[in-house]
Amino acid sequence: MWYLGVPIAVDAPMVVVRDDDYVDAIERLESAGFGRSVPNRDPPPEIMEDLPNPQQVLEEIYAGYKRLDRSCAVFDYPHGDPAEEDMQVFVVPDSFAHVFQEDIPRSSIRIGDTAPTTRFQNYGSLYYPLEQALVESFVKAAIDEETAIDEETAIDEETDVGFSAWGESLKSWVSLMTGYLEVDNDALDLCPDKQAVDWYSRNFGRIHEVNFGPIDRRISKRLGSGKEMPIDARGNPL
């Protein structure tokens, strides 16, 4: 999203690889000096020390990402660059991320291309998903997360499945993209997955707009204060 223009901080990049390349990607990172690790989601020590039950807080935090964490490989950056200290990289198989809808050579572009139906922009062997591919990936992953929670609840109705921080993160990312980028109601119109189309429509697209009105993209510390910026979040004049 940062690459596309969404103002977010990136401290744990996610690299999606095809399932057949997953093991090879792990071996290549290890040979390049990346250390196999586990996700570090601990709050800063100054926050933890004021909590009455820090262990319970940690358990709840990590439980919210359990499907993500058991489905990917996590690495610490090599030591040496202070700017990368404590940074991690996630290697995610495509069966979990749903990025590569079709073969990359037929659906990617090189730097400078502007064809409207493209899904990726590549820099050598790195492929950056453009708006449609990225939104579709987030939506399908969110559906998977909701389905998994429903299945766990159905198995044991007395078990508290808990809050899915991963699922909420995916929804917030879609929200950011619809706010800051030219991602509109027709973003998934060409998607063959009707479940994904329906999910997007209900949460951000046409059905959502019918029920709640168009998304308000004004920028202000307090909407209605009369101090809104003259442009919206996408940079369009109001």
- Quick check: 17 and 93 in contact, CB under 8 A? yes
pTM of the model: 0.85
160-177 average pLDDT score:
88
Banded model confidence at residue 105, pLDDT cuts 50, 70, 90: very low
CA distance 29 to 92: 13
What percent of the chain stands above pLDDT 70?
85
pLDDT band at 63 (very low <50, low <70, confident <90, very high): very high
Rounded to the nearest integer, the mean pLDDT of the chain is 86
Distance, in Å, from the CA atom of 166 to the CA atom of 141, rounded to the nearest integer, reads 9
pLDDT in tens, 15-57: 999 999 999 999 999 999 999 999 999 999 999 999 999 999 9
Q: Which of 1-15, 24-38, 214-228 has the lowest mean pLDDT?
A: 214-228
d(CA 92, CA 99): 10
Q: Is the pLDDT of residue 113 over 70?
A: no
E strands along the chain, which residues?
Answer: 14-17, 35-37, 73-76, 88-93, 108-110, 120-123, 126-129
Mean pLDDT of the region 115-136: 86
Look at residues 211, 103, 97, 207 and name the one whose alpha carbon lies nearest to residue 143: 97
Alpha-carbon span 93 to 91, nearest angstrom: 7
Domain ranges of the chain: 14-212
